A = this chain, B = another copy of it.
Amino acid sequence: MAMATTPHSLLLQNPTQPHHQLPKTSIFKPFNAFSRFTIPNRRISISCAATSTQIQDRPPLPAHSQERLFNFAAGPAILPENVLLKAQSELYNYRGSGMSVMEMSHRGKEFLSIIQKAESDLRTLLEIPDEYAVLFLQGGATTQFAAIPLNLCSPSDPVDFLVTGSWGDKAIKEAKKYCNPNLIWSGKSEKYTKIPTFEGLEQNPDAKYLHICANETIHGVEFKNYPTPQNSTGILVADMSSNFCSKPVDVSKFGVIYAGAQKNVGPSGVTIVIIRKDLIGNAQEQTPVMLDYKIHAENNSLYNTPPCYGIYMCGLVFEDLLEQGGLKEVEKKNQKKAEILYNAIDESNGFFRCPVEKSVRSLMNVPFTLEKSELEGEFVKEAAKEKMVQLKGHRSVGGMRASIYNAMPLAGVEKLVAFMKDFQAKHA
């Protein structure tokens, strides 16, 4: 229904039409808000004589419209354009419900259907086994840094941490309040550019779990496979905030996977926890009720009011990932994007440099520096003029960083690579 059959007439989207029938790229969706002016049949016919071809002959929605920036921010980060357009079209009146998702009671049937579908789609995407609970929480990974030990340990319990960047470091610091964490390896002395071989790691057999950060957002270091916990529980816990849903993951290898949504799957304000159900129910007495997984699991993430709109947005992203063919397809696209960017760096004869060891380079966050570091400011500024923004590296490491999450189109990376080559030619 992208165009009505009568030339020059605009058929407005009927808000009662089921969502799945909507063409994702229909440019008519944002008209939805006006349909209240088109009683009774939601149709406005505009017979046009003069310049109507500007509308009639418009091109199909481009993969990335001219108006839009290529946003390389590390998070909150770029979201799929079609997801944003869909969200816009139904912000004022969600699918004929007469209200915005933001106005819905979290216990009403409309929102229950949203959160249940989001969970169901996520389960499909990651093939999450039934013995795992999926929780939609608040407070970011930083809140989980406390919640994990509070739920999985008593205060004297040992826990092993393998620290490959700033986020793992923050996690162990917070864990010290609630358990007895042990740093079994740190990449700090090598500026977090490596991941060790797992064989040589000395794990504590009494550790309650082994904690890793699967992808270090700031340092661009990503686990390509995972260590096997050499402790009595066999529990591996992973912060996957910045590579969540970027590739298939064997969930059954983990006790807990947690992720802030604001990188690959939604806006900030939603934290997703996937936890093996038998690990739930032993929180320390001092645990705030909002950090107790049992409370959230028993109430299907509705103990108190959840971040409803953020969960809705995550649901739209999950739908989009499924429509792309699932995480195997998504991973291929991410590999392609990362490949051309790392190649551009490696083939620059040292003009650009990525400090991270090749075998563990992140598909999501690509940090790089300039041999002539005095040009880095100009690089960032000139890129911004070309509508490529947020390329400045994290303040703790400097240089540049291109975050190329799921929603970054290949065209964005290609444009960046072309810009890099131009920049090099200009300054070599």
Interface residues of A (CB under 8 A from B): 15, 27, 30-39, 44-52, 54-55, 58, 65-69, 71, 73-79, 84-85, 87-88, 91-93, 97-100, 102-106, 108, 138-143, 145-147, 174, 177-178, 260, 262, 266-270, 285-291, 303-310, 313, 387, 389-390
Contact = CB atoms under 8 A, between A and B. Distances in A.
Contacts of A100: 79, 84
B75 A305 contact: yes
A393 to B, nearest CB: 13
A142 B106 contact: no
Nearest to A15: B67
A172 B228 CA distance: 43
Contacts of A32: 30
A69 B99 contact: yes
Given A38-B54, A44-B55, A84-B92, 13 more contacts: A15-B67, A30-B33, A37-B55, A45-B54, A49-B49, A73-B104, A84-B103, A88-B88, A142-B289, A142-B303, A142-B304, A177-B285, A310-B310
B30 A268 contact: no
A364 to B, nearest CB: 15
Nearest to A285: B177
B289 A145 contact: yes
Contacts of A27: 33-34, 37
B289 A68 contact: no
Nearest to A27: B34
A307 to B, nearest CB: 3
Q: Assembly of this chain: how many copies? A: 2
A289 B47 contact: no
Given A33-B30, A104-B76, A269-B310, A50 B51 contact: no
A47 B58 contact: no
A308 B54 contact: no
A146 B291 CA distance: 10
Contacts of A68: 36, 93, 98-99
Nearest to A73: B105
B49 A47 contact: yes
A66 B44 contact: no
A75 B104 CA distance: 8
A76 B106 contact: yes
Nearest to A312: B267
Most chain B Cβ neighbours within 10 Å, of A58, A79, A99, A262: A99
Contacts of A91: 84, 87-88, 91
A33 B88 CA distance: 8
A389 B146 CA distance: 40
29 contacts: A27-B37, A33-B88, A36-B66, A37-B55, A39-B66, A45-B51, A46-B52, A47-B52, A68-B98, A73-B104, A76-B102, A76-B104, A78-B99, A78-B103, A84-B92, A84-B100, A91-B91, A102-B267, A106-B268, A108-B390, A138-B139, A138-B143, A260-B305, A267-B307, A267-B308, A268-B307, A268-B308, A269-B307, A288-B288
